[in-house]
Amino acid sequence: NTDINTVRGQETGYATLNPLQTKNYNQGSVVISNGNLEIDTSGIGWSSAAGTIAVSSGKWFWEYTCSNLSGSELIRNGIFKQGGVLSGTGGDDVTSPDVYIYASNAQKWTGSAFTSYGTTYTAGDTIGVALDLDAGTLTFYKNGVTQGSAYTGLSDTFSPYFSQSSDPKSIINFGQKPFKFPPPDGFQPLNTANKRPETVISRPDQYVGIVTYTGNG
């Protein structure tokens, strides 16, 4: 895809992680750094964070690259329903029906149970998230290869969502820099320039113009 706005990204207003919308389920605090584009959960158990921009229509794409991921550590990233509630049990935040995720152990969450999805990923792998709210689908990509449609029938307002246990880090790119792998056709970086609706008035003189006023003294 050689479209300049897709390759380079739009000029302003990119999504980041929201420091005001984080949650830790054991102890400590969620560490967000590097311009709010990196989440670090080193030694603090299950932690999560949402993105700053929520959308209810359109086709959106972003990437995250995991690091420091080994052993029983997990990353579970995807989208979070706006206004939803994270009700963690036993330190595990994904007991909520309001998250739609692709886990590093090749699972997805159905709202009540985990089922198999895609292939496992580990440190150095880049996961692409393609959210199509016009068709109501969520598809994940591993190093540019589609893992198939993870969810269908989505109809609500969603924001990006990132969750991890123990020591992983996730480095997120919403389009602030070129994507490592090209997004699917028609998908845009998540920013306010793309989210803002375009209003075109073909005859502005029908709505606003110059009126000459002549006073009477």
Q: What is the dihedral of CA 105, 85, 129, 44, to 10 degrees?
A: -50
- Please write the tens of the pLDDT for every residue from 1-41: 666 555 554 456 899 988 888 777 665 567 788 888 988 76
Residue 84 has pLDDT above 80, yes or no: no
Residues of the chain above pLDDT 90, percent? 38
- Per-position b or e across 159-168, b if 16+ CB within 10 A of its CB: bbbbbbbbbb
What mean pLDDT, rounded, does the chain reach? Answer: 82
Cβ–Cβ < 8 Å for 101, 94: yes
Confidence of residue 90 (pLDDT cuts 50, 70, 90): very low
pLDDT at 91: 46
Cα gap 195→12, rounded to integer Å = 11
31-35, 88-92, 94-98, 133-137, range with greatest mean pLDDT:
133-137
Instruction: Say whether pLDDT at 89 is over 50.
Output: no
How high is the pLDDT of residue 98? 83
Q: Which are the contacts of 103, defined by CB distance < 8 A and separation ≥ 6?
A: 74, 75, 76, 109, 114, 117
Write down the H helix ranges in the chain. Answer: 4-8, 192-195
pTM, two decimal places = 0.80
- The mean pLDDT of 143-150, rounded to a whole number, is 96
